[in-house]
Amino acid sequence: MIGGNIGSMILITRENYFDMAIKNVALFKQYIYNDVLIKYLYFYLQSQVVSIKNTALGGAQSFVSLNMLRNYLMPIPPLNEQKKIIEKFKLLDFVIQQYEKSYCELNNLKHELFPKLKKSILQEAIQGKLVPQIEEEGTAQELLEQIKTEKEKLVKEGKLKKSALTDSIIYKSDDNKYFEKIGKTVIDVTDEIPFEIPVTWQWVRTKDIFQINPKNIAEDNCISAFIPMEKICATYGSEFSYDKVQWKTIKTGYTHFADGDVAFAKITPCFQNRKSAIFHNLPNGIGAGTTELKVLRQFGETINRWYLLFFLESPYFIDEATFKGTANQQRITSGYLENKLFPLPPLQEQNRIENHIKAIASIMKG
């Protein structure tokens, strides 16, 4: 009769009436001799819960008055018809309970299955198993040449250190072993290779194809985006919001990013919860935020940002991470991102992977 319990009902029987003490209720007790079956009353009142709740009085602690219940109009059919109604209600009640049970089981299955399915799809994507390879789309080696050209351009402009041109080259030998060549040094990295990738793909170190935590240059009064951790959603995807602030208030002590950059949380549990985003439509194209972010910026238009995000959210990247710090505040170890092996497909294949995953996600949302 009071507050959130308005409308809650129980039918007291010989089997349960010794087991309870109740208050703040309206007790409907049947006269010894009358033509109303108590179960009919019970089912009827259940059908009137919404109407009864609408009569509630009061503010923070609403209640239903006894006087209203005493005068509540009730249709009373003949006794035999009451019995038929009761039997029909019992049947429907059973069906409803079975439906609720099945619905709960389906929801539980959805909550268990969908995350596993999403992980599986991302893993298949970065292993080259989600979409077919098309010979006409070229190879990742050709893409690496484009990245090298972009890096050389930035070095000439003074925007990148010359040391960034010293890339590693990872290749597979005739005896199926993998080697990495850095300058004149060649080392066996076979044990580092996590899985096989298509022949048109290439293994590369993440630090060789992305700028990591780059800096922005802007006027102090430039309006920009400020993004603390709570404004980045923990989800498979890219959802974030921001506050507008002057650049001078956030240019020091925060992590910089710009339109087109891809970022992820480096601290637990945000890392495992996949707090990540592709930044876009920022005020004046720039922003800064929590220092618990790692930011990746591509060289030119050489990497599909969604493919990069799928890589960062994949089990391969998330589940194999190593951490350092206290139990409550652990961060991925220094160098984990930079030295992580990145499975690089040709750009057109990256685009097809993006489209395919988005199509699957649309179906899963239903």
The answer to whether the beta carbons of residues 336 and 321 sit under 8 Å apart is yes
Above 80 in pLDDT, residue 22? no
Above 60 in pLDDT, residue 366? no
Task: Give the pLDDT of residue 73.
Answer: 83
For the residues 262-279, what does the mean pLDDT come to? Answer: 95
- pLDDT bucket at 19, cuts 50 / 70 / 90: low
Torsion angle, CA of 325/329/332/335, rounded to 10 degrees?
-50
Residues of the chain with CATH 3.90.220.20: 125-365
For the residues 296-313, what does the mean pLDDT come to? Answer: 96
Task: Give the pLDDT of residue 291.
Answer: 96
Using the structure block, give the residue that is written with the tokens 């994507």: 125
Above 60 in pLDDT, residue 18? no
Q: Count other Cβ atoms within 10 Å, centred on residue 11.
A: 13
Nearest to 350 by CA among 38, 53, 131: 131
pLDDT in tens, 206-237: 999 999 999 999 999 999 999 999 999 988 87
For the residues 165-169, what does the mean pLDDT come to? Answer: 87
Above 90 in pLDDT, residue 10? no
Class of domain 125-365: alpha beta
- pLDDT bucket at 355, cuts 50 / 70 / 90: very high
Task: Give the pLDDT of residue 3.
Answer: 60
Tell me which range, 26-40, 215-229, 327-341, is most confidently predicted by mean pLDDT.
215-229
Phi and psi at residue 212, to the nearest 5°: -110, 125
For the residues 111-122, what does the mean pLDDT come to? Answer: 87
The answer to whether the beta carbons of residues 131 and 332 sit under 8 Å apart is no
Choose the weakest-confidence range: 78-87, 180-189, 306-315: 78-87
The shares of helix, strand and coil residues in the chain, as percent rounded to the nearest 5, are 40, 20, 40
- pLDDT bucket at 201, cuts 50 / 70 / 90: very high
Q: Count other Cβ atoms within 10 Å, centred on residue 190.
A: 14
pTM (2 d.p.): 0.74
- pLDDT bucket at 23, cuts 50 / 70 / 90: low
